[in-house]
Amino acid sequence: MSYVSVDQAVKLLRAGGVVGLPTETVYGLAGRIDQEDALKLIFSTKQRPFFDPLIVHVASSAEVQGLAAEWPEIFQILAARFWPGPLTMVTQKTAAVSPLITSGLETVAIRCPKHPLALEVIRKLGVPVAAPSANRFGKTSPTRPEHVDSEFGGSVAVIDGGACEVGLESTVVDAHLRDGRWHLRVLRPGGVSRRELAAELQKHHLNFSIERAESAASPGHLKAHYQPTNPVVILDRDFSDEDIKTRVQSQLGVRVDQVIRMELGSEPEQAARRLYQDFRELSRQEHGVIAIRRSQTGPDWEAIWDRIERASSLTMS
Ligand code: TXA
Ligand code: MG
């Protein structure tokens, strides 16, 4: 156990340390953006490659000024509606943003989280923090403080902010103006759906379109990611346990004693909140395989299915 109060966390961050920070999406591994050692510690703690850039977390829109060289009208509209909240916006960076944060890119990803303890930490520290999800690289993101604790074997100080309300990561977008029309690109689907983004932009009578970017546009958004310990199999139709066992054993070469069926239910918000927690719980059973029937695939399920796809090792159709 390594739980700390907000004030203790701020002290650790001041000294260049890293802290498990509750946000409404998932727990982050936070370090101050103006200390290279803290940033390096984030990467080494997570065993994260340096080509995967970090999100800068601010406590208010006002802090964007020092970080972003451009903050277009479309981002102002979206920030006014969705901040604090699970939306990350990518724009040109200023010299104040270390290339360690952006993996050498000229752009920076910024978001204002909604969790009151995250906001309190950033405000008290007086400096924005960079924070990737607080899990080892490629693994399932933590949605409870004890997940962070077990992920790093108790070696990382964590603020207990309870269970995350959203349960999966923020939506990451960038925007380009071409011939008077805004092209908003979703680099990673997440806590704010495309439908919600569109509704807000329509209200402001903006000329826009929303596209889903190729995954390469968000460097860290790799095809295989978020993987729980037990393999995940997506079922395009009904299969018997025997069929699943046989296929997994022959195609993945792992022993399977039990097929564990994971139900998503009918409410996307609830499904998102439970997804990573269920991945972890259903991995406790040794030699189990987690089977998920492909159902509920409307626009409100985009982020959930993005994560399941990346977490999965096999699709049976
Ligand atoms: O909800 C979240 O966003 C959580 C919490 C802790 O805030 N954070 C999170 O961070 O998910 P991380 O590091 O696991 O994912 C950051 C994503 C990656 O897909 C990365 O490629 C993308 O943001 N990203 C960061 N900077 C970028 C940039 N300059 N251009 C494009 N994508 C960027
Ligand atoms: Mg992550």
User: Which residues make Cβ contacts (< 8 Å) with residue 25, sequence separation at least 6?
Assistant: 86, 113, 164, 166, 167, 168, 169, 170, 190, 191
φ and ψ at residue 136, rounded to 5 degrees = -65, 145
Least distant ligand from the CA of 169: 1
H or E stretch covering 139: none
Separation of alpha carbons 151 and 279, rounded Å: 14
Q: For atom 20 of ligand 1, which residue has the closest CA?
A: 220
pTM for the model stands at: 0.96
135 lines ligand 1 (CB under 6 A): no
Number of the ligand closest to the Cα of 130: 1
Indicate whether residue 230 lines ligand 1 (CB < 6 A): no
Ligand 2 centre distance from Cα of residue 206 (Å) = 32
Instruction: Please list all protein residues whose beta carbon sits less than 5 angstroms from ligand 2, which is an ion.
Output: 133
Read off the amino acid at residue 123: R
For residue 218, the CA-to-ligand 2 centroid distance in Å is 12
Which pLDDT tens digits describe the chain residue by residue (317 residues)?
599 999 999 999 999 999 999 999 999 999 999 999 999 999 999 999 888 999 999 999 999 999 999 999 999 999 999 999 999 999 999 999 999 999 999 999 999 999 999 999 999 999 999 999 999 998 899 999 999 999 999 999 999 999 999 999 999 999 999 999 999 999 999 999 999 999 999 999 999 999 998 765 555 556 667 788 899 999 999 999 999 999 999 999 999 999 999 999 999 999 999 999 999 999 999 999 999 999 888 889 999 999 999 999 999 99
C-alpha of residue 88 to centroid of ligand 1, in Å: 8
Atom of ligand 1 nearest to the CA of 221: 19
